[in-house]
């Protein structure tokens, strides 16, 4: 596979569209399908020139808009909606830079589990399962050094391509090109540059019905007993989000943040969302997606950074709400229940009457937000500290580990370079926050151990969660108890030693006085 390089600015400029001979695999495959569709249409009076021009538009060779009827609208190419998955990957191969060690691990996991060659991804691997054509194409956007490494002969993307092709062959599917295309980007404007790179390359609203976007700050997908009930019926993880899209609901995300500072401005958080591709024109026309021209290093200026967040991350939701559309969170939101979607529009009152604590916790992926989410889900079911637990990974399907990393995810992912990120116990009684330890049940023994720098391995009621079922399992204090005993013994031994030294000193003074 050869990575496609982004070298010229200008969203959807004709000059940016790549030469057909160098076009990404995705575009060439769509062109082949379109050609077949055109050839099988009823004979009409179209000229050869007109047919070639229409096919060129279908293949993405031109970015100019056209009101002419599209071949996919006139031929039943597929009953399934066409979906483009855009993944914004790491910008460096150095795991010691910031959070990059975590990003690289997430990227590797997504290649293995998020690109679906054997049915639904994120479940136990079974490479013998047949390939299922879900009409999904994957575009991965990377900086040039990362792209070259992953598309080399021994690169992980190259290996995944071969795995997918083998699965297609076993299933009798004759697909000319692989499922995955790699585009390269400049390291600027954060994730928005990845979307712009794709929009400069493809006429996405023409080629696709849905676009699903995510970045490498997420770990996932991961399905299991705690996942939304409908997961057993999914053909692809993308359906968690695209299945909620409609004429009214134009954007579905993983989570909705209901506040931006103190201004009521509900928006889908930009690390994972799905849209009907028609909204892309709205984004471009309103400037919600734009050429920011700012390098990532320059975003050390908070004003520049927050301006991008307000215009892009908040803006892509705001401009849709202003036009009468709705946005949705697929299956979780703050103060709601896991498994329940949230749909809001410009007239929604959800979150308007907020307290200071509500503002702080309007973002799910913080320790407070996650524990409050569990509390609102299990408020009636659990009357003890179970309702404050950070649930296992599969309950969230995708987890934003670029904020914090729960112990259970670390056990599975084994991140080696955490950078500035902190590990957070799933059990609130072991939290670094006194507030959550207090809510979970104040323990003098536990606080005493914390004061002397000892972390318990367990307790007589160790909390274990399997999916959404949290139970107390018997355990021992283990190392912690042994250490407490040793400290007590050390204390008394030291005390006796000091006492003996003092007695000897007094005897010595008396001896000198007598002599």
Q: What whole-number distance in Å separates Cα of residue 284 and Cα of residue 151?
A: 31
| Pure H helices in 114-250 | 144-150, 156-170, 190-201, 204-207, 239-242
Mean pLDDT to the nearest integer, 442-449: 66
More confident residue, 482 or 389: 389
Instruction: Specify the pTM.
Output: 0.78
Q: What whole-number distance in Å separates Cα of residue 300 and Cα of residue 4?
A: 29
Confidence of residue 507 (pLDDT cuts 50, 70, 90): low
More confident residue, 246 or 364: 246
Give residue-wise pLDDT tens across range 5-24: 544 333 322 223 333 233 34
Exposed / middle / buried, residue 34 (Cβ in 10 Å: 0-12, 13-18, 19+): buried
Give residue-wise pLDDT tens across range 293-335: 877 677 677 777 778 888 899 999 999 999 999 999 999 887 6
Strand partners for 272: 214
Mean pLDDT to the nearest integer, 232-250: 97
Q: How many residues are there in the chain?
A: 515
Cis peptide leading into residue 221 (ω within 30°)? yes
Angle at 139 between CA 214 and CA 221, to 5 degrees: 40
Least confident of 101-115, 135-149, 385-399, 428-442: 428-442
Exposed / middle / buried, residue 56 (Cβ in 10 Å: 0-12, 13-18, 19+): middle
Reported as half-sphere exposure (CB side, CA atoms, 13 A), residue 172 has a value of 0
Least confident of 77-81, 475-479, 506-510: 475-479
Q: What whole-number distance in Å separates Cα of residue 195 and Cα of residue 270?
A: 11
Confidence of residue 181 (pLDDT cuts 50, 70, 90): very high
Q: Would you say residue 96 has pLDDT above 90?
A: yes
Q: Quick one: pLDDT at residue 248? A: 98
Q: Quick one: pLDDT at residue 164? A: 93
Cβ atoms within 10 Å, residue 264: 14
In this structure, the dihedral spanned by the alpha carbons of residues 25, 26, 27 and 31, taken in order and rounded to 10 degrees, is 100
Three-state DSSP class for 390? coil
| Pure H helices in 40-90 | 48-59, 71-74
Q: What whole-number distance in Å separates Cα of residue 20 and Cα of residue 3?
A: 15
């Amino acid at each position: 596979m050869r990575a496609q390089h982004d070298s010229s600015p200008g969203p959807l400029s004709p000059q940016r569209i790549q030469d057909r001979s160098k076009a990404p695999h995705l575009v060439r495959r769509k062109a082949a399908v379109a050609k077949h569709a055109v050839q099988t249409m009823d004979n009409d009076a179209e000229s050869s020139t007109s047919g070639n021009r229409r096919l060129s538009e279908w293949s993405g060779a031109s970015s100019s808009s056209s009101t002419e009827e599209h071949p996919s609208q006139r031929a039943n190419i597929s009953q399934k909606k066409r979906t483009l998955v855009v993944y914004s990957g790491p910008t460096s191969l150095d795991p010691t830079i910031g959070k990059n060690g975590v990003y690289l691990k997430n990227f590797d996991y997504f290649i293995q589990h998020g690109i679906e060659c054997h049915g639904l991804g994120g479940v136990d691997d079974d490479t013998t399962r047949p390939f299922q054509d879900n009409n999904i194409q994957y575009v991965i956007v990377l900086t040039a050094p990362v792209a070259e490494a992953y598309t080399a002969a021994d690169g992980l993307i190259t290996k995944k391509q071969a795995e997918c092709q083998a699965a297609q062959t076993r299933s009798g599917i004759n697909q000319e090109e692989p499922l995955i295309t790699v585009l390269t980007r400049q390291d600027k404007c954060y994730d928005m540059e990845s979307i712009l790179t794709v929009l400069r390359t493809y006429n996405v609203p023409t080629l696709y019905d849905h676009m699903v976007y995510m970045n490498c700050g997420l770990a996932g997908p991961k399905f299991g007993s705690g996942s939304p009930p409908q997961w057993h019926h999914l053909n692809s993880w993308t359906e968690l989000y695209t299945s909620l899209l409609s004429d009214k609901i134009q954007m579905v995300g993983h989570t909705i943040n209901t506040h931006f500072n103190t201004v009521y401005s509900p928006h889908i958080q930009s690390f994972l969302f799905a849209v009907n591709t028609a909204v892309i024109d709205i984004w471009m026309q309103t400037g919600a997606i734009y050429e920011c021209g700012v390098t990532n290093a320059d975003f050390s200026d908070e004003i520049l950074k927050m301006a991008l967040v307000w215009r892009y991350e908040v803006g892509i939701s705001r401009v849709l709400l202003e036009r009468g559309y709705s946005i949705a969170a697929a299956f979780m939101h703050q103060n709601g229940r896991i498994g329940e979607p949230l749909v809001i529009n410009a007239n929604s009152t959800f979150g308007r009457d907020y307290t200071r604590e509500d503002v702080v916790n309007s973002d799910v992926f913080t320790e407070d937000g996650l524990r409050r989410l569990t509390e609102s889900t299990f408020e009636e079911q659990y009357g003890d500290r179970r309702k404050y637990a950070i649930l296992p990974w599969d309950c969230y399907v995708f987890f934003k580990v670029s904020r914090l990393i729960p112990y259970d995810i670390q056990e599975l992912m084994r991140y080696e370079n955490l950078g500035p990120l902190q590990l957070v116990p799933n059990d609130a009684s072991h939290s670094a926050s006194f507030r959550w330890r207090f809510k979970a049940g104040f323990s003098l023994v536990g606080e005493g151990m914390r004061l002397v720098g000892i972390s318990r391995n367990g307790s007589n009621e160790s909390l274990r969660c399997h999916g959404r079922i949290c139970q107390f399992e018997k355990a021992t204090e283990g190392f912690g108890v042994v250490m407490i005993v040793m400290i007590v013994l050390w204390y008394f031994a030291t005390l006796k030693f000091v006492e003996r030294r003092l007695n000897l000193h007094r005897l010595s003074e008396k001896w000198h006085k007598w002599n």
